[in-house]
Amino acid sequence: MDTAVFSIPAPDETKTLKVALLGAGNVGAQVARILLEDADALAARTGARLELVGIAVRNVHAPRDVELPRELFTTDASALVRRADVVIELMGGLEPARTLILEAIEHGATVVTGNKALLAVDGPSLYEKADAARVQLSYEAAVAGAIPILRPIRDSLAGDKITRVMGIVNGTTNFILDQMDTTGASFADALAEATRLGYAEADPTADIEGHDAAAKGAILASLSFHTRFALEDVDCQGITAVTAGDIAAAKDAGFVIKLLAIAEKLTVPAAEGADDAGGTTTGVSVRVHPTLLPREHPLAAVHGAFNAVFIEAESAGELMFYGQGAGGTPTASAVLGDVVSAARRLVLGGPGRTETTTGVLPVLGIDAVTTKYCIGLDAADQPGVLARISALFAEHGVSIETMRQTVHRERDAHDDGAGGSAELRIVTHRASEASLAATVEAINGLDVINSVTSVLRVEGV
Ligand code: NAP
């Protein structure tokens, strides 16, 4: 009988992998420092020396957070890429990062990036090009900074079926909502504090409008459901409309408001004309919105600028990953994890299978989602108002779980029960987006309603 003998070559620490670093800002400078300071330890873990052969920046004379050898700096990123085995892209932005990553792939180099903005826009085409060239493209730092989340989803949970992922993946918005929750601050004051402390950028739009979280949501959904999702597949709502009143009312009712990126597998009635067996369609909804969570939910305990990702999987059950979602040194940890992991594969002779996109799950719009809602109403304080509102909910098939009323104006001794206004907070049972929207529209048309002050989704109950 023939016996096949498989042997894995012993790591050869005399082997060298040339590493090119694009960018030496918050993250890049720390990556360079660790590559230089921990060269021996990294070689022992990798099985090859990781030689930093150059650092591309815009201005070679700019002061850096870290003292780095001057001779490594260059402004010719393209030439640097062409002499590297591993390219670490930490420039950010779409161009020239995209062109340089493509050049690296064409040249056969392994690529590590933290560029969620680029991956959100162009991820699917970059992954395809990397697959076709049989090179590795890793991007652990692109979601939730230091938290190891992409590799656990891609590798550790590869034998399981993920059903839902909910993440606090933007530290700036979590800081703002947490400030509002703990101090009672308005959105504007909490944003000013986030800016003062350096958690919010001068232009905070990408954070507070939810775009940054949506980019990360697309990446999480793609890996979790083996299907590629892009930014335009994510239904996105930011936190700019969340008021101190919403936060206080949520708190009173035992909830906290968090900006969540949610990706979940849903089975819904098939659209007319669809030929799915059993008249149903299974797809994935990916969305970002402010969400009420019960205060005892694990994600409710994520304070300040921290991030966390909560995963539900068929066999593993519930898992939570928690840590620092940004910062030069924490993010450098995720980048170097990718570098060592990719370099180990190079040492063993091949890229291996990095991720699978065998799934063909359709994107389900927010209309397919059923969830609970918390609706804030400013209503006339008159007899019969609550009955009229309840009747409208019932008419649209949305059932009310709780209703709370706060009367704003004190009545005097001769009050006949009319006049003044009342703030109502109504939490519904699960309802579809369409039924809820129709209900809200009908309520808005009632003469006793001054305004619908908020409509927020509730999860984790
Ligand atoms: P950063 O501080 O703005 O640094 C960017 C670096 O890239 C700078 O060194 C800059 O050179 C260089 N650069 C920019 N455009 C260039 C160009 N056209 N040619 C050559 N060099 C160029 O950025 P960062 O905060 O380190 O972030 C880097 C990446 O990591 C981004 O994709 C970001 O989204 C991602 N990330 C960051 C964090 C974080 O906490 N900061 C967390 C997770 C992911 P000069 O120094 O000469 O200007």
**What is the per-residue pLDDT across 382-420, written as a single tens digit (0 to 9) for each?**
899 999 999 999 999 999 999 998 887 654 444 445 568
| CA of residue 234 to ligand 1 center, whole Å | 25
Rounded-to-integer distance, Cα 195 and Cα 11, Å: 47
Taking residues 259-282, report their average pLDDT.
82
Q: What integer is the mean pLDDT of 366-370?
A: 88
Protein residues whose CB sits closer than 6 Å to any atom of ligand 1? 23-28, 56-59, 62, 77, 90-92, 96, 114-116, 141, 145, 326-327, 331
Ligand 1 midpoint to CA 23 (Å): 5
Q: List pLDDT tens digits, range 133-166.
A: 999 999 999 999 999 999 999 999 999 999 999 9
Alpha helices, DSSP H only, in 163-242? Answer: 171-183, 187-196, 205-208, 211-225
- Segments forming the whole domain that contains residue 431: 369-458
Q: How confident is the model at residue 287 (pLDDT cuts 50, 70, 90)?
A: very high
**Atom 19, ligand 1: which residue's CA is nearest?**
58
- 359 part of a folded domain: no
Q: Sorting pLDDT into bands at 50, 70 and 90, what band is 53?
A: very high
Q: Which of 61, 68, 90, 170 to mutate to test the pocket of ligand 1 (most atoms within 8 A of CB)?
A: 90
* Phi-psi category of residue 107: left, alpha or beta, with phi > 0 → left and psi -120 to 50 → alpha: alpha
* Start-to-end C-alpha separation, the chain: 60
Six-digit token string for 20:
């090119």
For residue 365, count other CB atoms closer than 10 A to its CB: 14
pLDDT at 354 over 60: no
Check the CA dihedral 204-209-211-216 and report its sign: positive
Q: Please state the separation of Cα 160 from the chain's center in Å.
A: 21
- DSSP-based three-state secondary structure for 397: coil
Mean pLDDT, range 429-438, rounded to an integer: 93
Same domain, 391 and 449: yes
- Do 139 and 281 lie in one domain? The reply is no
pLDDT at 1 over 50: no
Proportion of the chain above pLDDT 70, given as a percent? 91
In a domain, 357, yes or no: no
User: What residue's CA is closest to ligand 1, atom 12?
Assistant: 23
Same structural domain, 157 and 228: yes
Examine the residue annotation and report whether 129 is marked as an active-site residue of this protein: no
- Are 214 and 305 in the same domain? yes
Question: How far is residue 119's CA from residue 97's CA, in Å, rounded to a whole number?
Answer: 11
Peptide bond into 96 cis (omega under 30): yes
Residue 167: per-residue pLDDT: 98
Interval between CA 121 and ligand 1 midpoint (Å):
17
Do 58 and 181 share a domain, yes or no?
A: no
Which CATH number belongs to the domain containing residue 25 in this structure? Answer: 3.40.50.720
Residue 3 in any domain: the answer is no
pLDDT tier, 319 (very low <50, low <70, confident <90, very high otherwise)? very high
Lowest mean pLDDT among 283-297, 363-377, 404-418, 437-451: 404-418
Q: Has residue 39 been placed in a domain?
A: yes
Q: Does some domain include residue 68?
A: yes
CATH number where 434 lies? 3.30.70.260
**Widest Cα–Cα separation across the chain:** 104
Q: Are residues 338 and 375 in the same domain?
A: no
Amino acid at 268: V
Does residue 264 share a domain with residue 187?
yes
The DSSP-derived string for 324-375 is E---HHHHHHHHHHHHHHHHHHHHHTS----------PPBPPGGG-EEEEEE
* Residue 74 falls inside a structural domain: yes
**Angle of CA points 458, 460, 461, to nearest 5°:** 80
Q: In terms of domains, do 393 and 314 share one?
A: no
If one residue of 58, 149, 199 were mutated to test the ligand 1 pocket, choosing by the most ligand atoms within 8 A of its CB, it would be: 58
CA 374/CA 249 separation, integer angstroms: 10
Q: How far is the CA of 373 from the centre of ligand 1 (A)?
A: 39
Distance, CA of 126 to CA of 400 (rounded, Å): 47
Query: Residues 6 or more apart from 205 whose CB is under 8 A from it?
Result: 211
Same domain, 173 and 311: yes
Query: What is the enclosing helix (H) or strand (E) of 406?
Result: strand 400-407
Query: In this structure, what CATH number is given to the domain that contains residue 170?
Result: 3.30.360.10
The dihedral sign for the CA sequence 136, 112, 87, 99:
positive
Please indicate, yes or no, whether residues 127 and 20 belong to a single structural domain of this protein: yes
pLDDT of residue 277: 60
pLDDT in tens, 163-221: 999 999 999 999 999 999 999 999 999 999 999 999 998 999 999 999 999 999 999 99
The number of distinct structural domains making up the chain is: 3
Return the residue whose CA atom lies nearest to atom 42 of ligand 1: 326
Q: Give the nearest ligand 1 atom to 116 CA.
A: 34
- Residue 380: predicted pLDDT: 92
- Using CA positions, which residue lies closest to atom 4 of ligand 1? 25
Residues 247, 182 contacting (CB under 8 angstroms): no
Q: What is the mean pLDDT of the chain?
A: 91
Same domain as 210, residue 140: no
Collapse the DSSP code of 269 into the 3-class scheme (helix H, G, I; strand E, B; otherwise coil) and give the result. strand
Closest-CA residue, ligand 1 atom 35, reads: 114
446 C-alpha vs ligand 1 centroid, how far in Å?
Answer: 52
Which range among 123-127, 229-233, 306-310 has the greatest average pLDDT?
306-310
Whose C-alpha lies nearest to ligand 1, atom 31? 92
> Which ligand 1 atom is at minimum distance from the Cα of 91?
7
> Which carries the bigger pLDDT value, residue 271 or residue 183?
183
Atom of ligand 1 nearest to the CA of 77: 20
Judgement on whether residues 166 and 287 belong to the same structural domain of the protein: yes
- Asked, for residue 212, whether it belongs to a domain, the answer is yes
Q: Above 70 in pLDDT, residue 10?
A: no
How far apart CA 96 and CA 77 sit, in angstroms, is 9
Choose the residue to mutate in 26, 61, 94, 115 for probing ligand 1, maximizing ligand atoms within 8 Å of C-beta. Answer: 26
Catalytic pick among 116, 216, 258, 265: 216
Residue 115 lies in a domain: yes
| Nearest CA owner, ligand 1 atom 36 | 114
| pLDDT band of 367, cuts 50, 70, 90 | confident
